[in-house]
Amino acid sequence: MDALLIRYGMSAVALAVAVAPSFSGPGGGGEGAAASYAAGVVPMPPGFLEELAVRHDSDEGLADAAARIVVELSRLVSSISPLGDPGPHLTALSHLLSLEPLARGSVAARSWLPADIRAASGRAVVLPGAVWLGPFFNISPIPDDVRGAAVQEPSVLAQCFAGVEQRRAGDVNNAVSALRLAMKNITGQLHGVVKSLLKMRTTKARMLQWLGAVLEGNAGRSKLRFDPEALAPDGFLTNVAAVLLKLCGPFLDTSPGSAFWKRVDPGFVAAGGLLESSYGAETRLAAASDEEAAWRERVCSHLSASASASAPGGGSGPGRIAGC
């Protein structure tokens, strides 16, 4: 993993700081040993992971190795602020999850989403040991003042806003612009990770399940008063919202010739989606309950008829939507 981080721009100095705790001992000297180790790390050669994924696609050990790597990346990134250059970690994650055998193993890890969804709800989602993807979404300049929250370094507050009343307005504006640029890059990489997992058939359901668990687990944030110690922090949810908005981008293209809309299945919402139990009672903007029920029935009837017509012998085919 260290070779992967070095390949994607992590400096030897930063790597030495990250691995120093592993070299520390009762007699000291850990920093020197860590520096020597980091100086000797060779960047991972291009194509290595791709070849590894192809050769060991069916090897159970590959899935276990992928899970260990993403969990360790999660642990490392949990203490890095936007000013601490989390770019190598995010780029390494993007590379890993762009390869289906490695992505498949990563989302199959126990720490992707615990069997008990309640264990991953609320604040637990940002803890590296509970949900490994959470800390990547928790990289944010928004302070988390909850007791016991992860401390991200370097401190955005200290470096960008210390003594703000005595500083020139231009300096403060430059600091804010730098933070915005850093967060734009971070949310862009997070969007790439999520989109990659949504595009693969073997990982799509797990990614949707993760998003659903995060939204349901933090539904309490919609209340006027909520317990911040029980729910995910502002920075995490801001990044989740930014990624979801980016995913909505194609829906904003209303041009008649858009290729996107040709791939959209309008009957999907009639199938009983992943969040049906949570949002089934929400008020519809353009339809009463009886109108919605009639529409669902029409969609299901149409899809059932289409599936029967396309199936061999006129029987029920696989095109029928579940729940119809």
Q: Is residue 205 part of a domain?
A: yes
C-alpha dihedral, 54 to 59 to 64 to 69, nearest 10°: -20
Q: Are residues 5 and 133 in the same domain?
A: no
Q: Are residues 172 and 299 in the same domain?
A: no
User: What's the CA gap between 3 and 96, in Å, rounded?
Assistant: 13
Q: Are 236 and 150 in contact (CB under 8 A)?
A: no
Q: Are residues 186 and 139 in the same domain?
A: yes
Q: Is residue 319 part of a domain?
A: no
Q: Are residues 42 and 159 in the same domain?
A: no
CA distances from 254 to 73, 97, 250, 258, 266 (A): 39, 31, 9, 7, 15
Q: Are residues 167 and 269 in the same domain?
A: no
Domain span at residue 41?
Answer: 1-46
Q: How are the residues of the chain apportioned to helix, strand and coil, as percentages rounded to the nearest 5?
A: 65, 0, 35
Taking only the tens of pLDDT, the chain with its 324 residues reads 888 898 888 888 888 888 887 777 665 567 888 888 888 889 999 999 999 998 988 888 999 999 999 999 999 999 999 999 899 999 999 999 999 999 999 999 989 987 665 555 678 888 767 899 999 999 999 999 888 888 899 999 998 888 888 888 899 899 999 999 999 999 999 999 999 999 999 999 999 989 988 888 888 888 889 888 889 999 999 999 999 999 998 888 888 888 888 887 766 666 655 556 556 666 666 777 788 788 778 877 877 777 677 665 544 444 444 445
Tally of domains within the chain? 3
Tell me whether residue 66 is exposed, middle or buried, using C-beta atoms within 10 angstroms of its C-beta: 0 to 12, 13 to 18, 19 or more.
buried
Q: Are residues 180 and 147 in the same domain?
A: yes
Q: Are residues 145 and 104 in the same domain?
A: yes
Q: Is residue 51 part of a domain?
A: no
Q: Which residues of 142-179 are buried (b: 16+ CB within 10 A; e: fewer)?
A: eebeeeebbebeebbeeebeeeeeeeeeeeeeebeeeb
